[in-house]
Chain A
Amino acid sequence: MPSRARGWIAIIVVVAVGLAASFVVQERYHHRVLTLVFLWASMGLAWNIISGYAGQISFGHQAFFGIGAYVTVLLVVKLGLTPWLGMIAAVAAAVLAAVLIGLPTFRLAGIYFGLATLAYPLILRIVMDWLGYQEVAIPMKREHLGWFMQFSEPRSFDLVALGVLAGSLALSYRIETSRLGYWLRAIRENEQAAEAMGADSFRCKMAAYMLSAVPAAVAGAVYIHAILFIVTPEAVFGLLVISQTLVVCLVGGTGTMWGPVIGAAVMVPVSEILDTTVGDSLPGIQGVVYGAALILIILFAPEGLYWGVLQRFRARRSRGAEGVRAAPIVVAQPPAHPGAATGDVLLDVRGISKAFLGLQALSDVSFDVKEREILGVIGPNGAGKTTLFNVLNGFLVPDHGEVRFRGQTVTGLLPSALCRRGVGRTFQVVRTFPHLTVLENVMVGAFAREAAVDRARARAASALQDVSLADRAEALPGGLTTLELRLMELARCLATSPRLVLLDEPLAGLSADGVDAMITMIRRVRATGMTVVIIEHTMQALLKLADRLVVLDQGRRLAEGPPGRVTQDRAVIEAYLGKRWLARAGAPAC
């Protein structure tokens, strides 16, 4: 991640290049191409906010482009309002439309969201036809050309469009370098993990959608004045608008503000040059060549030119630096006086039941967790242990029963709200944000407490230090070992400053030394004042760690008590521990 100043300088350089181009170019036609590059880059940037950063693929983004065009032009026609002010109204209308579209549509996930968005520009086309706006021409205002965005000099349109691009870049960069940007990327990579770390995914997506409507509406308004002069439903709500947007994003790369800029700078001139050269002699051939160029780029840079070039550059830089993983992880021992449980109740679980389609996953489960306790939850596979965690951190709302945390009822709160109240968790199979570095993964947790990026970064770095993973901060999760992944997930959870930490099988897949490192780590977590509830099958480890055990079997609480007593319990041995345990229990390990 480049430092803040470097990003702004890059934006200034791009705008300066655009400015220079507009003063070098002489012919009217070339100005038009330049205007189109700026406008399609802006439209791509708009789409990239919701579909690139947040990963919610929208096939209906021309809805906002069209609203921008229609609202400004209709205000000129009906009220004689200048488009400079009309654009403000157009942006307001587009943002309102984003809210109205987002409210029902964000209930859908993945491809279903994308398909649903197809409907909205279609509806708007029909509405415009029905209202009688099949063709709305911009009335000429000869005496106030500039005031009505009707320039005789084509360079002026370049400059207006370049202004739109500069604004879109600034907006994108602000998002990329803010908490919202990190949350959006986390939601794209793993929505559940992001929610558990305090990101309210519905609100984040809605914010992104509203923001992404802004450049789209402005681009639509300027496009109509600079290029079309006549608004028709087909021209602004049609498929060509969204396909041009998608082309610049796919060619340039998504999830980065440079993608749409590169895509537009390459593809718009290519298509225009083809139109005027081969298209003149062999009408229609330009479409074929354009398609071939697109296929070539997708073959050689399937993630877009920006990512393709970046990857090659990084590969060259890291060549020669190849090496084998360095020293093993050594976790510092906890302080000499591990604070024991205080006796105050932190979490009170009362009569929780949860059924899935006839399967009773939890029935009437009650227990409490004391402050600074380490409570182990054990039981056979399918007993409902993870379901219990999902209720405790808000992924599931129980059918019956109540959960009280620090004296307050928290049943039914969103995972993000529970996280902010101090419930952190990790997952049975580690859930990473694979395209974020280890440090950025942990920052997502830190954002539950810090809005400022710098402070979140510092908090995340210190959490990584705490789990002895500081040297892996810049790595991607894909290159980490199982132990490192588990430690990273723990650091991400600790960065949310939890009071209660829910650990779902933190020792699974760890070798003996890894188990020891993790046990030490969990003891340290408790020693710093946190309370731990842990699901685990590695009994020897749990006997060393836990103050108390709760045993679940087929959704019911089978037993509860100190480990020594619970593991001697006939019913527990029968249901969970097995005969061999009984044989070994002759010489108790605890």
Chain B
Amino acid sequence: MARAGGGAGVLTVAGLGVSYGGLRALVDLTLEVGEGEFVTLVGPNGAGKTTLLKAISGTAAATGTIVYRGRDLGALRASERAALGIAHVPEGRRVFPSLTVFENLELGSYRRAARRGRAQALQEVLELFPILRQRRSQLAGSLSGGEQQMLALGRGLMAQPDVLLLDEPSQGLGPRIVEQIFETIDRIRRERRLTILLVEQRVVEALELCDRGYVLETGRVVLAGARDALLADPRVQRAYLGA
């Protein structure tokens, strides 16, 4: 895929608002992600992090504008956004339980642009999560919680996306595998110059990996900055790093 010049905004979010019933989950939120950039979102439960990813991928209704590579996503449905190359790996292991592990992965690569590289992507995903190779013909619903999490992540990677939205990839995974997953995310982005938007509760690891980060609270951005600035910020240290 031909890409615009380095540093250009891949994703520009402006004045974004989302309400559930009477509750406002996001309020006038503005955020920018550049080409090949790795951006981490942190914040307490209920801050609106998951909602933000949902609004970008089109699985939550939002007001305001979301522009992806110069194109307003407002009118596009979730499936159309996915076809453009925005892959959303939602939290809570949303795999297709009555399909096999292999079928789940294959479904990830139905995007037109992803079909050619499917075999290679599959190899990469299986190298990354060898347990999925062992389980390939098992139904996804019979996997353990952590294995389903790996499958959801693997399915997202199968789309060979341009922008990867990751919602708590480490949730429910053991320490060793979490370490591996963070290493993998880091490697993937170096190799592919993938643009990543990551939501994580493991604040230290997630901030250490990123280029820039945003701190969300009650639906608003309360702090934004480059990695080192954020890690050194006394407010972040106090609230999230237990310092």
Contacts and interface: CB of A to CB of B under 8 A. Distances in A.
Interface of A: 318-319, 321-325, 328, 356, 359, 378-387, 428-429, 476, 478-479, 481-484, 505, 508-514, 537, 539, 575-581
Given A325-B46, A325-B218, A428-B145, 17 more contacts: A318-B21, A322-B19, A322-B23, A323-B24, A324-B219, A381-B172, A381-B173, A385-B144, A478-B21, A479-B21, A482-B46, A511-B44, A511-B45, A512-B240, A576-B175, A578-B176, A579-B179
B201 A509 contact: yes
A581 B168 CA distance: 21
B23 A381 contact: no
Given A324-B218, A512-B240, A539 B175 contact: yes
B45 A483 contact: yes
Contact of B174 (A380, A482, A511): A380
A429 B145 contact: yes
Contacts of A479: 20-21, 23
29 contacts: A318-B22, A325-B46, A356-B142, A359-B142, A380-B146, A380-B174, A381-B145, A381-B147, A381-B149, A381-B150, A382-B144, A382-B147, A387-B144, A428-B172, A429-B93, A476-B21, A479-B20, A482-B46, A483-B45, A505-B145, A508-B171, A509-B92, A513-B239, A537-B178, A576-B174, A577-B176, A578-B176, A581-B175, A581-B176
B176 A483 contact: no
Contacts of A484: 45-46
Which of B93, B138, B149, B176 has the largest count of A CB atoms less than 10 A from its CB?
Answer: B176
Contacts of B108: none
A116 to B, nearest CB: 20
A384 B147 CA distance: 11
A387 B144 CA distance: 8
A510 B45 contact: yes
B242 interface: yes
B176 A512 contact: no
A388 to B, nearest CB: 11
Given A328-B44, A510-B201, A322 B22 contact: yes
A96 B18 CA distance: 53
A10 to B, nearest CB: 26
Contact of A511 (B21, B201, B218): B201
A104 to B, nearest CB: 24
Contacts of A508: 171-172
Contacts of B23: 322-325, 479
Contacts of A581: 175-176
A580 B21 contact: no
Nearest to B220: A324
Nearest to A514: B45
Contacts of B19: 322
A241 to B, nearest CB: 34
Contacts of B171: 508-509
A429 B92 contact: yes
A380 B168 contact: no
Contacts of B179: 578-580
B146 A381 contact: yes
Contacts of B175: 537, 539, 576-578, 580-581
B113 interface: no
B143 interface: yes
A29 B222 CA distance: 70
Interface string B18-44: 011111100100000000000000111
A386 B22 contact: no
B242 A482 contact: no
B209 interface: no
B172 A511 contact: no
A322 B43 CA distance: 22
A379 B27 contact: no
A537 B45 contact: no
B172 A324 contact: no
B87 to A, nearest CB: 20
Nearest to A481: B46
Contacts of B138: 359
A484 to B, nearest CB: 7
Nearest to B21: A479
Contacts of A322: 19, 22-24
Interface in B98-150: 131, 138, 142-147, 149-150
Nearest to B50: A482
Contacts of B178: 537
B67 interface: no
B199 to A, nearest CB: 10
B115 to A, nearest CB: 30
Nearest to A380: B174
B201 A324 contact: no
A161 to B, nearest CB: 40
A37 to B, nearest CB: 35
Contact of A537 (B22, B92, B173): B173
